[in-house]
Amino acid sequence: MSKLIAALDAQLAQIDAQSLRRRRRITESPSTPRVQVDGRSMLAFCSNDYLGLAAHPQIVEALQQGAELYGAGSGASHLISGHSRAHAQLEERLAEFVAPQIDNARALYFCTGYMANLAMLSALAGSDADLFSESLNHASLIDGARLSRANVQVYPHGDIEKLSALLAASTAAKKMVVTDSVFSMDGDLADLPRLLALCEQHDAWLVVDDAHGFGVLGAHGRGVLEHFNLRSPNLVYMGTLGKAAGVAGAFVAAHASVIEWMVQRARPYIYTTAAPPAVAHALLTSLDIIEGAEGAERRAQLQNLIVQWQETLQLSKWQAMESSTAIQPVVIGANDVAMQVAANLYERGIWVPAIRPPTVPAGTARLRVTLSAAHTADDVVQLVDVLQQLEKGA
């Protein structure tokens, strides 16, 4: 066998030895709480489709209509010929959507949130910048910070005192604080009002990744900035459109000058083919739903399920994390035990992902339960019952 392949196989065997092998299950139906997997209907608590829009008939219809209007592919990058009327409309609509929170707002649409984060950080920070990164930030922010070549300083989760000291000591020409709004594996919220006050005091950007807040938080679903009622020229906001918005892609919203700079300079924006215009077209319908009465109803339903989960789940060995969001992790500890619990749930027809290192710190392997407005109160009763039974038997 080739030495190269043998070396990789040895590394894969190590992954197995630590119970860290990941495998993909193949789904055969739309992403809903009753998802068809390997010919079986499963009750799923895995997706980030927090409002239950991923299979919404009006959005599916808009996607079909978009394909009829614009075809299948965009054909080129945005700066060549791939920027369609649908992309332009979506960006205008997104800018209006976040306008109450951002001065002179403009929005830029991306194929994925991962790319939006690479683009945002690499365009705004360079080797002359100090970039202060929260320790539980999403991998895409970490990679964006690396790509930017900024001097990266990681501050401990939620430790604003420490961040304050780091900012005070910085003599860099540009300063930037980067944080998730809702931490994706813990479900808790960053203290954005205090972070923003600190950034204003130090003339620093506050870059917020609202992947798990956009559509869900705030009275109109405008996200975490609406939730905390924040507005500042120092804010750079990233929201994703493949989670609560139910479709795909992401956007950065900020002062028009920030966005224009990104159009001119952000390589992950410039050197990639634009997303299919039909996707942008479908997102216009998704935004209408999020902002309208139906969105408000879906957010209220999600909130009811979160309260039900917190009030009914009783655990002694395992630990439900403190979270007010749709992300409700249950920390189990050891990788192999977490895997076994997830397998036992699966046998009983319930699909909850086990999250292991390196996604979470060693020794904190967990079930990551995500609730959706498409779940019913009965679905939550089932999960709570089975989980409590499994804990007793563990």
The binding site for ligand PLP (CB under 6 A) comprises: 112-114, 117, 138, 140, 180, 184, 209, 211-212, 240, 242, 250
Query: Cβ(124)–Cβ(205) under 8 Å?
Result: yes
375 carries a ligand binding annotation: no
212 carries a ligand binding annotation: yes
For the beta sheet containing 34-37, the strands, ordered from the edge strand earlier in sequence to the opposite edge, are 34-37, 40-44, 350-351
Q: Which residue is nearest to ligand PLP (CB)?
A: 113
The DSSP code sequence of 367-381 is EEEE--TTS-HHHHH
184 carries a ligand binding annotation: yes
Least distance between ligand PLP and beta carbon 246 (Å): 12
325 carries a ligand binding annotation: no
Nearer to ligand PLP, 74 or 184 (CB): 184
Distances (CA, A) of 325 to 88, 184, 214, 229: 32, 10, 12, 18
Nearer to ligand PLP, 323 or 387 (CB): 323
**Token code pair at residue 285:** 């319908």
Helix (H) or strand (E) holding 115: helix 113-124
Least distance between ligand PLP and beta carbon 7 (Å): 30
Select from 230, 141, 142, 249 the least CA-distant residue to 191.
230
366 carries a ligand binding annotation: no
**What is the Cα–Cα distance from 86 to 83, expressed in whole angstroms?**
8
Least distance between ligand PLP and beta carbon 327 (Å): 9
**Token code pair at residue 232:** 């500042």
Nearer to ligand PLP, 182 or 345 (CB): 182
Least distance between ligand PLP and beta carbon 121 (Å): 12
Least distance between ligand PLP and beta carbon 165 (Å): 26
39 carries a ligand binding annotation: no
Output DSSP code: residue 106: E
**How far does Cα 100 stand from its chain's mean position?**
22
Which residues define the annotated binding site?
22, 113-114, 138, 184, 212, 240, 359
Which residues define the annotated binding site for pyridoxal 5'-phosphate?
113-114, 184, 212, 240
